Amino acid sequence: MAKHAVESVSPVPEYRAWKTFLDDRLALAGVIVLVLLVFAALAGKFLTDWFVVFDPSVVRLADKFLPPLSVPSEFVAPADIPWFGMYLLGTDELGRDVFARMLQGSMVSLSIGIVAVALAVSIGVTLGGIAGYFGDRRLGFISVDSLIMRFTDVMLCFPTFFLILTVIALLPSSIYNIMIVIGVTGWMGTARFVRAEFLSLREQDFIVSATALGLPNWRIILLHMLPNAMVPVLVSATISVATAILTESALSFLGFGVQPPAATWGNILADGKGFIFDAPWLFFIPGFAILLVVLAFNLVGEGMREAMNPRLRPR
Amino acid sequence: MNTTVLRVGDMNSSNHDPLVAVRGLKKHFAVRSGVFARVHGWIKAVDDVSFDIDVGETLALVGESGCGKTTLGRAVLRLIEPSAGVVTVCGRDIGALNFTQLREFRRKLQIIFQDPYSSLNPRISVGGIVGESIRVHEGASQPEAQRRVDELLERVGLDASFRRRFPHELSGGQRQRVGIARALALGPEFVVCDEAVSALDVSVQAQILNLLSELQRDAGLAYLFISHDLNVVRQIADRVAVMYLGKLVECAGVERVFSTPMHPYTQSLIDANPIPDPSYPPTTTILEGEVPSALNPPTGCPFHTRCPQAMDHCRTTLPLATVTETGHTVACHLYAQS
């Protein structure tokens, strides 16, 4: 159906997908923000951890609650004066440089977002793929498909955020535990997607043909089905990254996330909430950063969805 | 239940074994509904079908949409597991093969599809599509596989440079040629052509039909040619089997079927086939009504609800296949007395 249209209109659909994506200004803006974020996260990791130019943990009690762009006072030791000669984003209640802390936090947000979603997607693709391909087989009284999909339904019934809170309360709250917990509670949508894609692909003639050629199952799944099922998965993964970043921020905000003194956007925000009237930048800077990144991921995901869907393409 | 054995091999009853022998093949689909997926009924998509195909022979399978042609084609190849019946290819019962044996045996059995757009993986190049089975089954090296792919492409009338193209760059006819090259890659003996030319333009249809005949001559392929287009069937088939509601109703050599159709269903099918000649008298008998639901098929002869010559007897008793002196095998009470 749609494939006929693509064939007759354009000889290279992939190229059209790119063009549609690049024509979407919002998605392009999202990409630019994400590129800047990746750059900031890498620079942040490098400049705050290994080659310390911006030290997020220097306490300067004389300079607390300075608004953005203010100059350090004469009471600050020369070694503690920030690199730009001023506090780009102000200081917090201990006189720590908010710019340095935001830089450090960007790596946490980005890596949690990406690792958690990669984990969720791997679990989802595996379970969804098994349910979609081997679903007819029976294990005793229940088919593989029913078993996996009912388990998925059970997982969907949990209020995920409270499940994460409970688990984090029991486990030491390291960044790795947070990644794992967010990943393990976030795979259900992907599993359903992949199962649905596999069920429809399995009926396609080229899959029947692969069976008729006597190709092994793993080859049919990995080389013929998975590449054709990945587009919606990648689109939804982009949007899930935004959700994972939000979840991490919320956890840090509630004090269950990455523990101080390590800075994350969530705990900068949490620390700032007590001073919202005296030092609003402590609240608005991380809040705005989270908003921007989540928005960027959503726009990119939306742009990808439109670019990959032949029916939504203009003309 | 009453068994109808419609042996179409009787016509050329020779002493050698047929390449493909199908006996009593059935495929019944359970209709499930409700929370506990209780079986509410059975759709008898293929019901007790038997036929033979010889080496180098084309058996055409014709019938209306939904009569079970495609299901039969796939059940013969065990692409869907038959409910009952035996399929023997080259003397081996393919129902008895285990998973690994079946995978190995599949090189002798291939299939060509109707829709050239969905039958090729859009993400793999033509070379990959055609060469994959060679690399997997024979462990051929990259250059060896490539040489074989080039040969195959040339054999189906495509330039070797097509190896690097992707399916979306090809026209419908070119895609169908790629599909044929893929089916030929392992040197099969029996190919099911499932409406292989129905989706193509008439001119391309003719080219593909000629290609199929050529390949048959060169390699001694046997075809089960599934089609609803009687003109195509007349051109390519050696023998014709007519299917109605999951059962074979008539089978005979192609000229016999077209000149003297015996079963009333075959008669109306051939009568309904348009002839591009305004001076030709218009169709005399037009079938009325719809094909009955396969979920609730009529008792007796499945065709009695639409048959212009139906008798009381037809409503109660399933007609058995009989071989007439003209070489037709037909399942109809009109000919039972002979």
User: What is the per-residue pLDDT across B81-93, written as a single tens digit (0 to 9) for each?
Assistant: 899 999 999 888 9
Q: Kindly determine whether residue B79 and residue A208, on different chains, have CB atoms separated by under 8 Å.
A: yes
What residues in B contact A224, CB-CB < 8 Å? 121, 124
Q: Kindly determine whether residue B186 and residue A216, on different chains, have CB atoms separated by under 8 Å.
A: no
Q: Kindly determine whether residue B133 and residue A215, on different chains, have CB atoms separated by under 8 Å.
A: yes
What is the per-residue pLDDT for B10?
A: 44
Give a yes or no: residue B296 inside a domain. Answer: yes
Domain region containing B8: 1-90+231-276+283-338
pLDDT (average), residues B50-65: 91
**Is the pLDDT score of B277 beyond 80?**
no
Phi/psi of residue B4, each to 5°? -100, 115
- Binned at pLDDT 50, 70 and 90, residue B321 comes out as confident
A219 touches chain B (CB under 8 A): yes
What is the per-residue pLDDT for A160?
A: 82
Q: Kindly determine whether residue A214 and residue B118, on different chains, have CB atoms separated by under 8 Å.
A: no
> Looking at per-residue confidence, does B144 or B279 come out higher?
B144
What residues in A contact B103, CB-CB < 8 Å? 214-216
A150 touches chain B (CB under 8 A): no
B29 touches chain A (CB under 8 A): no
Interface of A with B in 4-63 (CB under 8 A): 4, 6-7, 11-13
**Is the pLDDT score of B3 beyond 50?**
no
Q: What residues are paired with B303 via a beta bridge?
A: none
**Residue found by looking up tokens 């705005």 in the block:** A288
Residue B159's nearest CA partner among B207, B128, B127 is B127
What residues in A contact B94, CB-CB < 8 Å? none
- Give one DSSP letter per residue of A112-152, joined into a string: HHHHHHHHHHHHHHHHHHHHHHSTT-EETTEEHHHHHHHHH
What residues in B contact A213, CB-CB < 8 Å? 106-107, 110, 132-133, 136-137, 182, 185-186
The minimum CA-CA distance between B180 and chain A, rounded to whole Å, is 11
pLDDT (average), residues A107-117: 89
**CA–CA separation, B299 and B305 (whole Å):** 10
Give a yes or no: residue B99 inside a domain. Answer: no
- pTM value surpassing 0.90: no
* B104 closest CB neighbour out of A204, A206, A214: A214
Q: Express as a percent the part of chain B with pLDDT over 70.
A: 92
**Is the pLDDT score of B209 beyond 90?**
yes
Residue B319's nearest CA partner among B265, B252, B256, B268 is B265
**Is the pLDDT score of B44 beyond 50?**
yes
What is the per-residue pLDDT for B239?
A: 93
Query: Lowest-pLDDT range, A84-93, A215-224, B298-307?
Result: A84-93
Q: Kindly determine whether residue B168 and residue A13, on different chains, have CB atoms separated by under 8 Å.
A: yes
Give a yes or no: residue B310 inside a domain. Answer: yes
Give a yes or no: residue B265 inside a domain. Answer: yes
pLDDT (average), residues A73-95: 78
CATH number, residue B236: 3.40.50.300
Burial of residue A253 (CB within 10 Å: 0-12, 13-18, 19+) is buried
Q: Kindly determine whether residue B136 and residue A11, on different chains, have CB atoms separated by under 8 Å.
A: no
User: What is the per-residue pLDDT across A7-17, written as a single tens digit (0 to 9) for each?
Assistant: 333 445 556 67
> Looking at per-residue confidence, does A304 or A312 come out higher?
A304
What is the per-residue pLDDT for A14?
A: 58
Contact in structure between A107 and A37 (CB atoms under 8 Å): no
B137 touches chain A (CB under 8 A): yes
Give a yes or no: residue B101 inside a domain. Answer: no
**CA–CA separation, A183 and A186 (whole Å):** 5
Which range among A156-165, A296-305, B141-150 has the greatest average pLDDT? Answer: B141-150
Give a yes or no: residue B111 inside a domain. Answer: no
User: What is the per-residue pLDDT across B290-307, written as a single tens digit (0 to 9) for each?
Assistant: 778 878 888 888 888 888
The minimum CA-CA distance between B171 and chain A, rounded to whole Å, is 8
Contact in structure between B29 and B45 (CB atoms under 8 Å): yes
Q: What residue type is A218 in one-letter code?
A: W
Q: What are the distances in angstroms from CA B257 to CA A256, B326, B328?
A: 81, 10, 8
- Binned at pLDDT 50, 70 and 90, residue A115 comes out as very high
What is the per-residue pLDDT for A16?
A: 67
Closest CA in chain B for residue A225: B121
What is the per-residue pLDDT for B38?
A: 77
Disruptive mutation site among A213, A219, A230 for chain B (greatest number of B CBs within 10 Å)? A213
The minimum CA-CA distance between B288 and chain A, rounded to whole Å, is 31
Give a yes or no: residue B197 inside a domain. Answer: no
Contact in structure between A189 and A240 (CB atoms under 8 Å): yes
What residues in B contact A137, CB-CB < 8 Å? none
**Is the pLDDT score of B190 beyond 50?**
yes
Interface predicted TM-score of the whole assembly (ipTM), two decimals: 0.84
The HSE-up count of residue B6 (CA atoms within 13 Å, CB side) is: 26
Q: What residue type is B335 in one-letter code?
A: Y
What is the per-residue pLDDT for B224?
A: 94
**Is the pLDDT score of A107 beyond 60?**
yes
Q: What residues are paired with B330 via a beta bridge?
A: B250, B322
3-state secondary structure of A126: helix
What residues in A contact B136, CB-CB < 8 Å? 213-216, 219
- Show the domains of chain A with their CATH numbers: 16-312 (1.10.3720.10)
**CA–CA separation, B260 and B270 (whole Å):** 10
Q: What residues are paired with B285 via a beta bridge?
A: none
- Binned at pLDDT 50, 70 and 90, residue B11 comes out as very low
Q: How many distinct structural domains can be found in chain B? A: 1
What residues in B contact A13, CB-CB < 8 Å? 168
Q: Sign (positive/negative) of CA torsion A131, A137, A140, A141? A: positive
CB count in 10 Å sphere of residue B89: 22
Q: What residue type is A17 in one-letter code?
A: A
* A206 closest CB neighbour out of B118, B137, B168: B118
User: What is the per-residue pLDDT across A17-65, written as a single tens digit (0 to 9) for each?
Assistant: 777 777 888 888 999 998 999 998 888 888 877 777 777 878 887 787 8
Q: Kindly determine whether residue A205 and residue B113, on different chains, have CB atoms separated by under 8 Å.
A: yes
What is the per-residue pLDDT for B124?
A: 86
